[in-house]
Amino acid sequence: MKTIKLQGISAPQPAIEAKDLKPGMTRLYNFGETGEIVSVTPSKTGKTVTVTDLENGKEYTYRMRAETLVAVAQDEPKAEPKKSEAIKAEIDAINAQYDEAIQRMVYQNPEHTAESHDALWKEFWNQYGYEWMNRIKYLESDFNRELNRELKVGDGVTMHLWSDAHACTIIARTDKTLTIQRDKATLDPSFKPEWVPGGFAAHCTNSEEQRWSYERDPDGEIIRCRWSEKNGCWQSGSDGSIRISRGRHEHYDHNF
CA distance 130 to 206: 36
Secondary structure (DSSP) of 72-114: BPPPPPPPPPPHHHHHHHHHHHHHHHHHHHHIIIIIT-TT--T
Q: Compute the CA torsion angle 160, 161, 167, 168 (nearest 10 deg).
A: -90
pLDDT given for residue 201 in this prediction: 65
* Half-sphere exposure of residue 141: CA atoms within 13 angstroms, side-chain side: 9
pLDDT given for residue 16 in this prediction: 93
Instruction: Render each residue's pLDDT in the chain as its tens digit; 256 residues.
Output: 789 999 888 888 999 999 999 999 999 998 888 999 999 999 999 999 999 999 888 899 999 999 999 999 877 666 678 899 999 999 999 999 999 999 999 999 999 999 999 999 999 999 998 889 999 999 999 999 999 999 999 999 999 988 899 999 999 999 899 999 999 999 999 988 888 886 666 777 888 888 999 999 999 999 999 999 999 999 998 787 899 999 999 998 877 6
pLDDT given for residue 179 in this prediction: 95
CA distance 51 to 205: 76
pLDDT given for residue 146 in this prediction: 95
| Residue 151 · residue 246 · CB < 8 Å | yes
pLDDT given for residue 76 in this prediction: 63
Which residue type, as a one-letter code, is found at position 230? Answer: K
